[in-house]
Structure 1
């Protein structure tokens, strides 16, 4: 669909891009937000460095794990150890608040707009920040849900009570056998509801959210729609980035904006209707807020 020279960064300076994004937010009739891991990273949900050492220094010493993400694939010899790691992982990345209020800043900018969010993030930050649950599509799952590891059915289960209990009672990086979750239907061990492989469960809530997203796009086709991409890289571009590019290209009145430190670009085909801001997302959102509310700028 796009030319071989398929991406290009903007020649406009930072201030001009911020001003253009403010204008786009002011003038659009709807905003479709596409969020990747870079948005949560900007909010302080980092998986390496000081944060990893703060919460997982004991696992690093005993098992040689060097970051939270790779630790999720470690072949723990027992379920007690497996859930010792994952209960801590889920708690700090799902039930603890993000260190920085980046999601709250985003909501402040779009709260009065007709918006919808599609995200590959699984940390529930949008809902915790106050975004409308019925305007969210968590495409890749949710740390807050268990599913059967088989899986034997298309069901998921809230895990907050069990996770908190695991965290409170674990000793020596292990949970007690009594706290290990098993599927109430087939008895197989539970696992996280994450899109890591073909066992990922798309439950009824997933399908309802998917349908709402499709209906939102159908209802706003032809209107002035801003596709706002935040922190999306090239790991899974087919979920957000490529569809946003395609729709911005196909819809005459649509515009595309991308905020992503080091990865802000757009295809040449939509360059004229694109806003690319190469900046930390939290910093850029604060710039928008500091310039005044979107409604009062122009």
Structure 2
């Protein structure tokens, strides 16, 4: 199998994980199926939401109602264990020198890989931040979510349970990219880990592996991966996506693409053994 062969031959692997990876894991944030999976069918019926993100970006009449949805949505992501595609990926690359750059915010990367090998470029629903923000601090979402759920009635939480910044009293918001996203110490450290890894492995055989990366934010994974593939002397790019199988022509034989379902491909690669003939005695 090509994927397994490239992984085994690489000295270092940089994995770019996009929304397609979580979709194949069952986290369908963009369609109706995700609402049912997350136990949010009541919100779908009452408000007509077409997807989990539809509900997340909805303009609610009150903070109490907005945070009722947020609390249910975040609780779903926090409770879900690491899914099989992520576990299969860990099995495939865990013995290698690797780094994960992710645009997903659903906590699956954090549950599967050690923090020192990851960069959550778009943040994570596992944390909250001050909306202003007044401070360079992110907060564990779990205790806030538990308190909101305990006092929830119907589609609203209690006013006193709206998450507030302990420093200024202003509203907390999920630590995910929007116009108030905190690119503070936690974010910068993740980015620095990624940049240091890429810089230090530049002269080795580097596999740049794109998994389920779409076209919404090409400047985070796709374009930098193309640039590294072109510049590094022994780099190779493999892109895997269910919707396309074309590699950038300007990279020639340094890049290739596979059109496949990631759940199926990663599971098959995990159990595939690359045959290496035994040493022959002289």
Same fold per TM (> 0.5)?
A: yes
2:62 aligned with 1:78: yes
SS in 2 for 1:173: coil
Q: Using the alignment, how far apart are the partners of 1:141 and 1:263 within structure 2?
A: 27
Question: Which residue matches 2:73?
Answer: 89
Structure 2 contact 122–176 (Cα < 8 Å) conserved: yes
Structure 1 outlier segments of 4+, above 6 Å:
none
Provide the aligned length of Structure 1 versus Structure 2. 275
Question: Which residue matches 1:132?
Answer: 114
Quickly say closer, same or farther: Cα 1:297–1:95, change in 2 above 3 A: farther
**RMSD of the TM alignment (CA)?**
1.6
Q: Using the alignment, how far apart are the partners of 2:139 and 2:156 within structure 1?
A: 22
Per the TM alignment, residue 93 of structure 1 is displaced from its structure 2 partner at its CA by 2.4
Question: Which residue matches 2:48?
Answer: 64
Question: Which residue matches 1:117?
Answer: 100
1:123-272 pair list within 5 angstroms: 123-129=106-112, 131-197=113-179, 199-272=180-253
Structure 1 contact 233–263 (Cα < 8 Å) conserved: no
Could you tell which deviates more after superposition, 132-141 or 69-78? 69-78
Structure 1 contact 21–275 (Cα < 8 Å) conserved: no
SS in 2 for 1:89: helix
Q: Using the alignment, how far apart are the partners of 2:3 and 2:80 within structure 1?
A: 31
Question: Which residue matches 1:41?
Answer: 23
Per the TM alignment, residue 57 of structure 1 is displaced from its structure 2 partner at its CA by 2.2
SS in 2 for 1:269: helix
Q: Using the alignment, how far apart are the partners of 1:178 and 1:297 within structure 2?
A: 64
Structure 2 contact 102–109 (Cα < 8 Å) conserved: no
Q: Using the alignment, how far apart are the partners of 1:212 and 1:73 within structure 2?
A: 31
Residues 137-164 of structure 1 show CA distances to partners (whole Å, capped at 9, x for unaligned) of 0000110111111122222111112112
SS in 2 for 1:184: coil
Structure 1 contact 224–254 (Cα < 8 Å) conserved: yes
Q: Structure 1 stretches of 5 or more lacking a match? A: 1-18
Per the TM alignment, residue 49 of structure 1 is displaced from its structure 2 partner at its CA by 2.4
Q: Structure 2 stretches of 5 or more lacking a match? A: 278-282
Higher relative contact order (CA 8 A, sep 6+): 1
Q: Using the alignment, how far apart are the partners of 1:80 and 1:166 within structure 2?
A: 9
